[in-house]
Structure formats: C-alpha cells, structure tokens
Structure 1
Amino acid sequence: MDALLSRLFSTEEEELYILDCMAYLMVFMAACTFIALLFENVPYGRYSTSKYGLQINVRFAWFVQELPALLLPLCLLLRASSSKTSLLPNQLLIAMYLCHYVQRLVTTIIGKAVSCIYPFLIRGGKPTPLASFALAFVFCSYNGFMQIRYLSHYAEYPTNWVTHPCFLVGSVLWFVGWIMNVQSDHILRNLRKPGETGYKIPKGGMFEYVSGANFLGEITEWAGFALAGHSVHSAAFAIFTTVVLASRAVAHHKWYLAKFEDYPKSRKALIPFLF
C-alpha cells in the first residue's frame, strides 16, 4: 500500500496537502448536503421507493457499503511503515475509529476469529436504492482512507496529548456516544419479533427522550473523536455526520408523529428537551 501511494505522491508534503484538500472538500459537501436535505430525505429505509431506481437487499447493502470503512484502514495499517502508528495518541484515535466499525460489522470471538454480524441482525427493512448504496460505499472508502492515512502517517501531537483536556473530554464523549449507539441499535434490532413486520415505537435508553437516539449516539461519537483528534480531517467527518444524521433524526421524528397517534409528545427529534 505504501509503495502504491508513493507512486501517486512525489513527496509526503504533497500527500498531506491532498489529505487536507479532501477534508475541506468534505466540509463543502456537508454544506451542499445540508441544502439538498432541506428538500428531500435520504432515500433509504422507510423513505425508499421504486422511483429511486434499482433496489438492493438491505442486509447486503449495509454489509458491502460499510466494509471499506474497516478493510481499507486495516490495509493501510498492516502495510504502514510510519513511526506515527507507534505513538499512543495516534493509536488511541485509530482505535476509536476502528471500534465503531468493528461494532457495526464484526464481533471478536476468542480474541482472533471474527464474524460479520451487524448487517445480518437487521430484521426486515426495505431495500436500499442503488444510488444511496453507491454514495455510502464511496463515502466510507473516502473517509476511511482520509482518517487512517492521516493518523498513521502525519498526525503529530504533544507528548502529553493524552492528558490534555481536549483529548480527555473528547474521549469521554466518544465513549458515551459509542455506548448510546450500541444500545440504540440493540433496541431497534429487537423491536420486531421473528416473523413480525411493520413499524413500532422504540422504547428504552435514549429513545425515551429523542426519536433519533441512534443518530445522537453516532453524532456524539464523532464529535468526541474530532475534539480528541484536533484536526481538520476529524472535524470534517464530524460535521458531515452531523448534517446527515440530524436530517434523518428530524425526518424520523416527523414520521413517528404522523404514523402513531400515541407517540410520546415529550420526545424531541435529536437533543433531549430542546430539539
């Protein structure tokens, strides 16, 4: 991998410049996405219809579209020759990133064996449009490369960074968000019993306060990651995630209110008691 990238970039300064440009482009795309989502929901799940073209099995789509977010970084790390991967701040930040996608895609069995499970735990679910699947696949590849290449080769932190307030607060935020995300996914996966169809009101955990508890968890995760990482690359990821998931939370909240007459009126869309 390093040999291939060395052919693409003549110097490390050039590659770092490209990584910076990728981050700024992601921020620009977040702004464009924000405007687009004011007029149209992301066509997936309950918002998916045949008008968006070819439909793909939801389990297959979830598995394949997020796979590059884990496999590409692992390839970069396994072939990395940079000393940055031996530094504790870099290692912890890389672990934060990978832990999210490990939870989403794999579970560790007896330390080394892995089994891809998250997509296959999905019960029901409408097919995913090809366009949404393709965009998600591209984003996961793009972001996975940007985050891990920067952290494994270019990120430099003070020797005491792991005790810096930004890192400590960011790490706590990441962990709280990760726990919230895991719990919310568990609640959503178990809304339907085997053989059941249709939608139900999620209950328990942060769903008692917001309709988008899973989205709030993931936004909190990457906000913490950005604070701990202290880079334009991690910040761009947090901004893009917030734009997309906040829109989904609002759309879900409106849908729940319209669908269920007994939906709890005290619940907010994304931020408890506020929004």
Structure 2
Amino acid sequence: MEVEATITISLSYFLSTATMIYAQHLSLGFPELPIDLKYPGVGIFFIGITGNFYHHYLLAKLRAKGDKEYKVPHGGLFGLVICPHYLFEILGFVGVSCISQTAYSFSFTLGTICYLIGRSIATRKWYISKFEDFPRDVKALIPYIF
C-alpha cells in the first residue's frame, strides 16, 4: 500500500474515532435508552473486526513478493462475495454504533454502508470486465443476495 493511502486511511479512522468519542462525551447526562445494545454490539464488533482481518490476510497472501498481476481472491467468503472484507467492516461499524448508541455513530455507519456498497458494486464490475472466467454467481457484498 502506498504511503499516501496509508496516511489518508489512518487519518480517516482517527478522525472518525475522535468525533465518535466527542459525540459520546456530549451525550453524557442524557437519559439512557430503554434497550441496551452494548453487549450485542461488542459481539458484532469482534465478529466484524475478526472477519475483516482474516479476509485482508487472504488478500495480502494473494500475490507473491514483487508480483504485479491481478488475481481473483479465493478462500473465506470470497467464493460467495467479492468484497467480504467490506461486509465485515460494515459489521464492525454496526457493532460500534450499537455500543455507543448515538445519532452520530448511526449516521456515520449509514454513510459507511452506502460508500462500501458502491465500492463493492464497482469492484465486482471490474472483476467481471478483467477476468473472463470470473464466476457470475459471486455477489458484490452479501452472500446469495447482493
């Protein structure tokens, strides 16, 4: 990964984390919500972060050192969707939203979901155009559905 991309992505995650913490701070003293989603949120977050890490690991192993050729990913959920790392990233953000239960975190998660849906559709179209033998039954983001 290029240094500029690494800095941009890291800065984005840092700023989103800082603003979520600030939104959480601003909500101190407000009445608690009737449904506590913290514990399910922690479970969803860990499923998301673990699945995201695993699929990024599979992507990192895809090319040998110095190899510049594009390849179709395999293993994990790559046989069902072309962007399982996006699916698990969405689950991670849903978990964070459940933990914090603020309007800001829910709106940030919704924006992230919309962005990653668009990226997964574009990624699937790119794979179909690049590889003639790309399996047509592999979905963009959600296994068997989308």
TM-score by shorter chain over 0.5: yes
For 2:113, the equivalent position in structure 1 comes to 242
Structure 1 gap segments, 5+ residues each: 1-57, 70-100, 102-139
For 2:139, the equivalent position in structure 1 comes to 268
Name the structure with the higher strand share. 1
By relative contact order (CA 8 Å, sep 6+), the higher-ranking structure is 2
User: What is the TM-score of this pair, normalised by structure 2?
Assistant: 0.86
Bigger Rg, which one? 1
Post-superposition CA distance 1:197-237 (Å, at most 9, x none)? 12100001121211111111111110121122211111011
| 3-state SS of 1:205 partner | coil
Q: How many Å separate the matches in 2 of 1:227 and 1:240?
A: 15
Aligned positions, number: 144
User: Does structure 1 residue 189 correspond to structure 2 residue 132?
Assistant: no
Q: Is this contact kept in 2: 1:180–1:206, CA < 8 A?
A: no
For 1:128, the equivalent position in structure 2 comes to none
User: Does structure 1 residue 254 correspond to structure 2 residue 135?
Assistant: no
For 2:87, the equivalent position in structure 1 comes to 216
Query: How far 1:157 sits from its partner (Å)?
Result: 8.2
For 1:4, the equivalent position in structure 2 comes to none
User: Does structure 1 residue 68 correspond to structure 2 residue 11?
Assistant: yes
For 1:167, the equivalent position in structure 2 comes to 38
Q: How many Å separate the matches in 1 of 2:134 and 2:11?
A: 37
RMSD over aligned Cα, in angstroms?
2.3
Instruction: Kindly report which structure 2 residues correspond to 1:96-245, keeping only aligned pairs within 5 A, or say none.
Output: 141=15, 143-151=16-24, 153-156=25-28, 164=36, 166-245=37-116
Query: How far 1:66 sits from its partner (Å)?
Result: 3.0
